[in-house]
Structure 1
Amino acid sequence: MGYIEMWFNRTPVYPLFVNGVEAIFGSNFKTPLKFLQLIFGMLSVWFFIVQMRKNIQLQAFWYLLLAGILVIPYVYNHKIANTILTEAIAYPLYLVVCIQFLLYFFNHNKKHITYGILFLLVLLLTRKQFIFFIPVLLVMVLWVSYQTKTFKKHLPHLVTLVLLPFLISLADSTYHKVAHGYFTNTPWTGIHLLAPAMYVADEEDVTIYTSEDEKAYFTEIYNSVSTKQYNQAAAKAQGEEVISHYVANFAKIANHTIYPIGKERYEKQLSEDDTLIKIDNTTTAMAFPLIKDNFKKWFSLFIKNFSYGFENSKYVLLFVILFFFGISKLKNNQTNIYKAIAFVTCITISNMAVVAVGMHTLKRFIFYNDWVLFFILFMLLATVSNQLEVNKKATKKPPSN
């Protein structure tokens, strides 16, 4: 309902998309919405496969398998075309952004970085978790500029990437000014930053705050999560695995403890929207001192949350090895396969890291890269198969006269 009714705590693009479809089709808009989301998704998969085939020569069989894997979110588990949630358009946008930046990495054609940045702008105004693309792209553009000695020609793109967070913030605030009357970023960040910090907090941490309001807010939250056994101390006392306990209780801490306590504290003096802004500002201000004060425990939880998203630490190690394998090959063997391996492993690790900072690594937030490991496997298997064929032909004796 938050997207249909354009709630204040929703980012701009998807509510505008949903309401645009509703404006055209009226009260029966849900079926056309699902259809459009499915079409958008299939077109993005088709575009991804077509462009990859032009730049990485694999047998059609491998690309058929990859296409099947890319459409899994539409037919199994998430069924994202059937949902009124941001992933319905974030996933196809993500694929388009990925292929545009891969094409730039392959061919150094600046039009692809331009298209990619435009699509990235839309993607970030849909889900801000993809902010990691900006530093990744800055490194990529600098590397390409160095390799091709074209730094001056790439300067406009570098400046655009540096300014992109400010452009996102401006667009987000402008939308809320028009739609809700407040020139502010979407106020739904602080509670998610504060939740993991509250999970590892101790009762004595109240002393780090100087504001009486923050002290009182912290005490209410701490007492609630402690009583309901939503914190790390409860997990250890019960002998539960910390990360499983954290993932199971994250939403209870953020959405059902921090938010309602803040709402009750401030709604008597403020309007509903002003209350939401106050909660967001206060929780954001409280999060960083609390993280700093409990950094070792917070960082340990972050690492566990990060690994949980990969299912276990072995897969983390696998992705790290593949990333450095791709990077190491770029120096002497700049084939598109190794560029692709370096890029897709980098964005997979980066996405998981961003999600793990202020969320629980549920599949809904991390499924965007489920295709990556298969894609790498297909490329490596095809490479090995081709090399074996070459070796076989080279060692084959010529026929006798």
Structure 2
Amino acid sequence: MSKLFSLPRKIPLENKFLLVAFTLSFLFFIFQEPVYSPDTYSYLRADITRFPGYIIYLRSLKFVFGDLFDIMAIAGHLVFGFSAIYVIFKNCSTLFSLSAGFKILLIVVLLFPYFYPIEIAVNLTSEGIAYPLYLFAISFGIDFLFRNQQIKIVHLSFTFLLLALTRGQFIIFAPIIAFLYFLKMKKELLKKGRFMYLILLLMLPIIAGTLDKTYRFIFYGFFESTPYSYVNAITLPLFVSGANDFHFLTDKDHKEIYKSSYRRLDSMNLLSSKIEGSYKDKYKVFHDNFPKICNQNIHQYGMAYYRDQGVSPPNETFKIEAACKEMFPTLISKNFYEWLSLYITGVIHGFKSVFILCFVMVVALLSFRKTLREFSIRNGFVLLATLLILSNAMVVAIASHSIMRYLFYNYFFGLLILIILLKKFIPKNET
């Protein structure tokens, strides 16, 4: 009996700290009002333009708990999220032998997205489960790449598929893991079936895409990808487009949609050519008015155009996606310098500073050079972190506008990179 009552005192101080932090955070958020947004209602309606992950999560809770589903959704965000934070925190802490001070900084950064201004705990949007899935995927990737736990490729694959079916921006994650695995095993890739691991990692995005199409076929009758990728991506090309660019489109319906979209943007002065100043000034206008250029313009009008042509719902969503897919490379090629300049400005905006972007790029190049020569935990991890940071920023800048909501996933990587570099150049921080 005495042993039973002495158990709590045997809990390590670090675990007690985590328990207190998680408990206080849970109590703080669980009594807050759930935040509904247009995205929330689109998931509850199971809109065909949404990835299936959060639709299934939210609608399942609504089916089971009724009007209390939103409270249960917040609880799920928190429990799932804190579990993922615990796993990635423990993994990175032991992998790099972090000191108490660095551990506190890491847990603060990992918890940051749950608080203002991102607030993924109370916002009923896909970030609530995408962030934990991403952290779990990273942790399994660390085990697979740096701890030689080959069985973790099963956990990694399953988690990646859930992640990719929740937020499509992470489709590049598996190929990056495959690239690191190739660098690590390049001299013995054909031994002991290790080549199959590489093939599996490269196949995962294809499997995810097939599952996405299968979901849409089962519930909507269309074996198609989520029809909202090019609708988003066309926004910047529209912003830099010219009045006569419709001549380069081949489909007559696409031409009409483009001309109507251009006239609307022209009337609102939401064109790059209408804005005086630097590319930073132009990007700010684009950034602040993204919904007016995309959702309230090309998407809404495009679907209405096809409905007027007799296309029945939800076929019009696939029609406007196809139209934007044709426009995308055409408008970029005809306005390439302007598009590239604003695209780079958007990437810089996501990093808040060109110096931070350059720093990450330089660290990525140096770590790649060292990893190419000899794969090590430190160099391999820094390369993994910088590639994930850069790839996410670049994908987001193409597909949308660079806002914190899409970029916060990798903030903890930034801290770990600084810690690793600090421990390298200042030996006293090794312990």
Decide: shared fold, TM above 0.5.
yes
**Structure 1 residue 182 displacement after superposition:** 2.1
CA 1:372 to 1:165, structure 2 compared with 1: closer, same or farther past 3 Å?
Answer: closer
> Corresponding residue for 1:116?
156
> Corresponding residue for 2:25?
none
> Corresponding residue for 1:311?
352
**Structure 1 residue 185 displacement after superposition:** 1.3
> Corresponding residue for 1:76?
116
Equivalent residue for 1:354, pick from 395, 401, 408: 395
**Residues 231 and 324 in structure 2, CA contact (< 8 A), matched pair in contact too:** yes
Amino acid at match of 1:215: K
Amino acid at match of 2:231: I
What runs of 5+ residues in structure 2 fail to find an aligned partner? Answer: 1-40
Give me the whole-angstrom Cα distance separating, in 1, the residues matched to 2:117 and 2:263: 37
SS at match of 1:300: helix
> Corresponding residue for 1:259?
299
> Corresponding residue for 1:394?
none
> Corresponding residue for 1:209?
249
Amino acid at match of 2:200: T
SS at match of 2:385: helix
Give me the whole-angstrom Cα distance separating, in 1, the residues matched to 2:129 and 2:392: 17
> Corresponding residue for 1:85?
125
Question: What is the number of equivalent residue pairs in this alignment?
Answer: 390
Worse-matched range after superposition: 89-98 or 100-109: 100-109
Amino acid at match of 2:343: F
Amino acid at match of 2:181: V
Give me the whole-angstrom Cα distance separating, in 1, the residues matched to 2:191 and 2:332: 39
Give me the whole-angstrom Cα distance separating, in 1, the residues matched to 2:321 and 2:367: 40
**Residues 236 and 339 in structure 2, CA contact (< 8 A), matched pair in contact too:** yes
SS at match of 1:267: helix
1:230 matched to 2:242? The reply is no
Q: TM-score, normalised by structure 2?
A: 0.85
Give me the whole-angstrom Cα distance separating, in 2, the residues matched to 1:367 and 1:50: 20
Give me the whole-angstrom Cα distance separating, in 2, the residues matched to 1:209 and 1:389: 60
> Corresponding residue for 2:311?
270
1:293-349 Cα shifts (integer Å, max 9, x gaps): 222222222111111110121111111122223233335664422222121111001
Worse-matched range after superposition: 146-155 or 59-68: 146-155
Q: How does 1:23-172 map to 2 (within 5 A)?
A: 23-151=63-191, 153-172=193-212
1:52-78 Cα shifts (integer Å, max 9, x gaps): 233221213311220111001112311
**Structure 1 residue 388 displacement after superposition:** 7.5
1:294 matched to 2:346? The reply is no
Give me the whole-angstrom Cα distance separating, in 1, the residues matched to 2:393 and 2:154: 26
CA 1:333 to 1:155, structure 2 compared with 1: closer, same or farther past 3 Å?
Answer: closer
What runs of 5+ residues in structure 1 fail to find an aligned partner? Answer: 391-401
> Corresponding residue for 1:395?
none
> Corresponding residue for 2:61?
21
**Structure 1 residue 220 displacement after superposition:** 0.6
> Corresponding residue for 2:222?
182
**Residues 217 and 262 in structure 1, CA contact (< 8 A), matched pair in contact too:** yes
CA 1:389 to 1:219, structure 2 compared with 1: closer, same or farther past 3 Å?
Answer: closer
Worse-matched range after superposition: 180-189 or 345-354: 180-189
Amino acid at match of 1:328: R
CA 1:315 to 1:5, structure 2 compared with 1: closer, same or farther past 3 Å?
Answer: same
**Residues 52 and 166 in structure 2, CA contact (< 8 A), matched pair in contact too:** yes
Give me the whole-angstrom Cα distance separating, in 2, the residues matched to 1:216 and 1:199: 17
1:70-121 Cα shifts (integer Å, max 9, x gaps): 0011123111011111111111111111121122221233222332122111
**Residues 183 and 372 in structure 2, CA contact (< 8 A), matched pair in contact too:** no
Give me the whole-angstrom Cα distance separating, in 1, the residues matched to 2:429 and 2:227: 56
Q: TM-score, normalised by structure 1?
A: 0.91
SS at match of 2:311: coil
**Structure 1 residue 209 displacement after superposition:** 1.4
CA 1:306 to 1:362, structure 2 compared with 1: closer, same or farther past 3 Å?
Answer: same
**Structure 1 residue 43 displacement after superposition:** 0.5
Worse-matched range after superposition: 254-263 or 231-240: 231-240
Give me the whole-angstrom Cα distance separating, in 2, the residues matched to 1:27 and 1:389: 52
> Corresponding residue for 2:21?
none
Equivalent residue for 1:196, pick from 236, 239, 242: 236
Give me the whole-angstrom Cα distance separating, in 1, the residues matched to 2:344 and 2:168: 21
After superposition, the CA RMSD in angstroms is 2.1
Amino acid at match of 1:271: S
SS at match of 2:43: coil
Worse-matched range after superposition: 118-127 or 238-247: 238-247
SS at match of 1:203: coil
SS at match of 1:236: coil
> Corresponding residue for 2:36?
none
> Corresponding residue for 2:259?
219
Percentage identity across paired residues of the two chains? 25
**Residues 102 and 343 in structure 1, CA contact (< 8 A), matched pair in contact too:** no
Worse-matched range after superposition: 3-12 or 336-345: 336-345
**Structure 1 residue 369 displacement after superposition:** 1.1
Give me the whole-angstrom Cα distance separating, in 2, the residues matched to 1:82 and 1:324: 38
CA 1:382 to 1:252, structure 2 compared with 1: closer, same or farther past 3 Å?
Answer: same
Q: How does 1:307-386 map to 2 (within 5 A)?
A: 307-330=348-371, 334-386=375-427
**Structure 1 residue 148 displacement after superposition:** 4.5
Give me the whole-angstrom Cα distance separating, in 1, the residues matched to 2:300 and 2:142: 43
> Corresponding residue for 1:393?
none
SS at match of 1:272: coil
